[in-house]
Structure 1
């Protein structure tokens, strides 16, 4: 009786909820226990949105650059002398005292001997700076437009797309695969990522609940059910090269959010656009 009351409560919440992900997630929990969905009607699928975070800061826009210049000018006009500037003033006073003693030739008193001056420090810093070569913002992968390289577009977040055969056509999608008996949807997502992209890819999954939902219908001739309910799980890319499984994923690429529209269908873009945020 307790189980029936819990399932009824979940169903009521799902019907009242306007949030599609919550409603479908509650249906997923019930279907996994055999309470709602007819077996074979809809296939439960886990997909992984594997995202590589930006490595370097993004270029400033024209407005941001104007604001930064204004703030730098205001800081310069209202700032106090730094320790280096105070040290330079002190060096000038010591040098003036030394010259005065040399002119008087009295030899009275002692002026500080060998001293590392502010000018000496600036010369040393300048020499050290000349030996440093900053990393280029445009990488070799950018120059070659190598979309298989995770080293491209270092100032933008990238997501991994794989080319999978869904039905009778190939589509660019996030790595996805059907849930197997006895595993949770999160476990299915972890397994799918390793099977399709190789054991070398390190990823940090963000939570046990899906971040998005998508569904599509199978061709009429398909014998595996009506369609697929895809639950997306977000993960941060940590390390490793993608080694695709040639049988299930024939190709892969790392793309920016703006480039997704060049490869994915409109319904798919609408579903994943609900949880992709370019900060």
Structure 2
């Protein structure tokens, strides 16, 4: 199943009378500095796009001890999917204004929930604007859908699995390199990385316009870290958001990878877990 869709392909799908079936656009505007992206969404979004609140709909903060963005339950994601108007058989395109770094969380969760055709908009909202396609303002409230989340579509690692993976596979830490090295830690209680993890910052997978690098470039980058087809590979970040972006980038490169959703926010809060520092896996 394709992972990316271009802005022109999406515009064609959204045009009146398009023959390709129903396409639903989800706007997952979110950043650490501004987690509520609803205002930016209302000020201008792809026509017909439904706003998705990453913090409340793509995470369950009632879960304790599983990091800053614990996965939502199947039931709560089902409720959200139906609010978004999703039906089985829809094509879903997820978009943000952050190079797909937050939209990938929705991409991964929908794939994990068994939804078949989910795409990331290559270049995100910036590419849509640059191509001259229109935006609309206000809020879209769709008719409720009937889709149901059934987890199991994507591989997931728990905290013990993440700690053990470097012994036989490749664990990628996709945070900024200085956080990996333990030089700074602006969010979580301890600095450093999971022992044995290799540094693969999210920024190295995108070009200057926020598009994923070509598949062959990604494939070569990941191969240098040992992440090749057939290897046991997983990714983590700070709280499981950009880790999902890495899973998408690896898929574009032809490498299947698991996600450790708890990521460094879960690991660093467990005093029994060791932390490595410096530029080497440790």
Shared fold (TM-score greater than 0.5)?
Answer: no
Q: Which has the higher strand share?
A: 1
Q: Give me the TM-score of the superposition, normalised by structure 1.
A: 0.21
Larger gyration radius, structure 1 or structure 2: 1
Specify which structure has the bigger relative contact order, considering alpha-carbon pairs within 8 angstroms and separated by 6 or more residues. 1
Q: Which has the higher helix share?
A: 1
